[in-house]
């Protein structure tokens, strides 16, 4: 049960807790997963898609999940306290464990729920740069949203230092993967293309929702292919579609195909209908 005015709830197994334990493996090793969901008027329209990705990650890591019904009920109660909250974040770790990497087979998962305001809609196209930080290739972790995000932390610091909105990341072989916190779509010869995420990167829920309606296909891209695109946008499940306006010296004016993609997304998630008010 939630406490009035509480923005973050902590659980160990199915029971409430006052704090994350010092020996929690999520704290020690990043041994866990997380999901960040966009809310709309006290609801979570893409809950099933987020939980499905969480379950895929848990199977990959052999990590126990809490009972979905309880998590969803607690998330609903948390939002009921503040129906205007725009974001709910769920973190699940393997739970407590002894020192050392070997995981305990019977550890009860630790999980946290928190609510946050929605980010402001982008009032203009993004200014982005290529990041020096490269993503390590690790197919065993590719696609899932695990808690080890130091590469993104380093890349995001580059963006802050450079004064740009976002940064694009390549893997160690020079293949374009994503932005620091969003997936990438490029328009070439009238068709949307997005990089595959079989070697590294996060398979975003928003990306998955857009693949079929945009008839997008997956293909490896290099930096030159992105710079030569007719239009480019980023997307994630919290901010929706974010058009690119500038990448280094290359600029893109607003494109009708991006506007059409945003209208498509507004039909898939009602929170993104407001984004249509911005170019």
Q: What tens digit of pLDDT does each residue of 199-216 get?
A: 999 999 999 999 999 999
Q: Which two tokens stand for residue 260?
A: 């059409």
> Can you tell me the mean pLDDT for 185-195?
97
Q: How far apart are CA 25 and CA 17, in angstroms?
A: 16
Q: How far apart are CA 156 and CA 129, in angstroms?
A: 11
* Residue 75 DSSP symbol: H
Domain holding 78, by residue range, is 8-116
Do residues 100 and 32 both lie within one domain?
yes
Q: Which of 87, 116, 145 lies at the terminal end of a domain, its last residue?
A: 116
Is residue 278 over pLDDT 90? no
Q: Which of 82, 116, 150 lies at the terminal end of a domain, its last residue?
A: 116
User: Does residue 3 sit within a domain?
Assistant: no
Q: Model's pTM, two decimal places?
A: 0.94
User: Does residue 166 sit within a domain?
Assistant: yes
User: Does residue 252 sit within a domain?
Assistant: yes
Of the candidates 235, 242, 161, the one whose C-alpha atom is nearest the C-alpha of residue 204 is: 235
User: Does residue 200 sit within a domain?
Assistant: yes
Q: Which of 116, 135, 168 lies at the terminal end of a domain, its last residue?
A: 116
Q: What tens digit of pLDDT does each residue of 48-71 get?
A: 999 999 999 999 999 999 999 999
Do residues 45 and 137 both lie within one domain?
no
Do residues 75 and 204 both lie within one domain?
no
- pLDDT averaged over the chain? 94
Q: How far apart are CA 114 and CA 116, in angstroms?
A: 7
Could you give the C-alpha distances from 227 to 96, 138, 232, 245, in angstroms and in order?
46, 26, 9, 11
User: Does residue 81 sit within a domain?
Assistant: yes
Do residues 100 and 155 both lie within one domain?
no
pLDDT at 123: 76
User: Does residue 17 sit within a domain?
Assistant: yes
Do residues 63 and 190 both lie within one domain?
no
E strand intervals along 161-207: 166-171, 176-179, 183-188, 191-194
* CATH code (residue 111): 3.30.470.10
pLDDT at 275: 66
Is residue 92 over pLDDT 60? yes
Do residues 175 and 255 both lie within one domain?
yes
pLDDT at 132: 97
pLDDT at 253: 96
Residue-wise over 193-219: b if at least 16 C-beta within 10 A, else e? bbbbbebbbbbbbbbebbeeebebeee
* CATH code (residue 224): 3.20.10.10
Is residue 279 over pLDDT 70? no
How many Cα neighbours within 13 Å face the side chain of 84?
1
User: Does residue 121 sit within a domain?
Assistant: no
Q: Which two tokens stand for residue 203?
A: 């398979």
Do residues 12 and 88 both lie within one domain?
yes
pLDDT at 105: 79
User: Does residue 232 sit within a domain?
Assistant: yes
pLDDT at 1: 45
Total domains, the chain: 2
Least confident window among 45-59, 97-111, 137-151, 254-268: 97-111
Of the candidates 183, 169, 176, 171, the one whose C-alpha atom is nearest the C-alpha of residue 137 is: 171
The label of the residue with tokens 């945003």 reads: 262
């Amino acid at each position: 049960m939630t406490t009035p005015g509480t923005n973050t709830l902590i659980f160990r197994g199915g029971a409430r807790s006052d704090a994350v334990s010092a020996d929690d493996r999520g704290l020690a090793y990043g041994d866990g997963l997380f999901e960040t969901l966009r809310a709309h008027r006290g609801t979570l329209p893409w809950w099933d898609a987020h939980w499905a990705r969480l379950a895929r990650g848990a199977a990959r890591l052999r990590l126990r999940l809490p009972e979905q019904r309880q998590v969803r009920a607690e998330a609903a109660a948390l939002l009921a306290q503040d129906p205007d909250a725009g974001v709910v974040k769920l973190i699940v770790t393997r739970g407590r464990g002894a020192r050392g990497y070997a995981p305990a087979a019977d550890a009860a998962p630790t999980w946290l729920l928190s609510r946050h305001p929605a980010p402001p809609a982008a009032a203009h196209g993004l200014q982005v740069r290529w990041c020096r930080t490269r993503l390590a290739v690790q197919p065993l972790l590719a696609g899932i949203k695990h808690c080890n995000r130091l590469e993104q932390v380093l890349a995001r610091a580059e963006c802050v230092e450079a004064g740009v909105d976002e940064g694009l990341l390549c893997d160690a072989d020079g293949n374009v993967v994503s932005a620091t916190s969003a997936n990438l779509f490029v328009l070439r010869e009238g068709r949307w293309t997005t990089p595959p995420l079989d070697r590294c990167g996060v398979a975003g829920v928003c990306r998955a929702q857009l693949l079929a309606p945009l008839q997008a296909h997956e293909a490896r891209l290099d930096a030159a292919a992105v710079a030569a695109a007719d239009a480019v946008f980023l997307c994630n499940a919290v901010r929706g579609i974010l058009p690119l306006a500038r990448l280094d010296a290359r600029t893109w004016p607003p494109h009708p195909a991006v506007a059409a993609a945003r209208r498509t997304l507004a039909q898939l998630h009602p929170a993104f209908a407001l984004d249509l008010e911005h170019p």
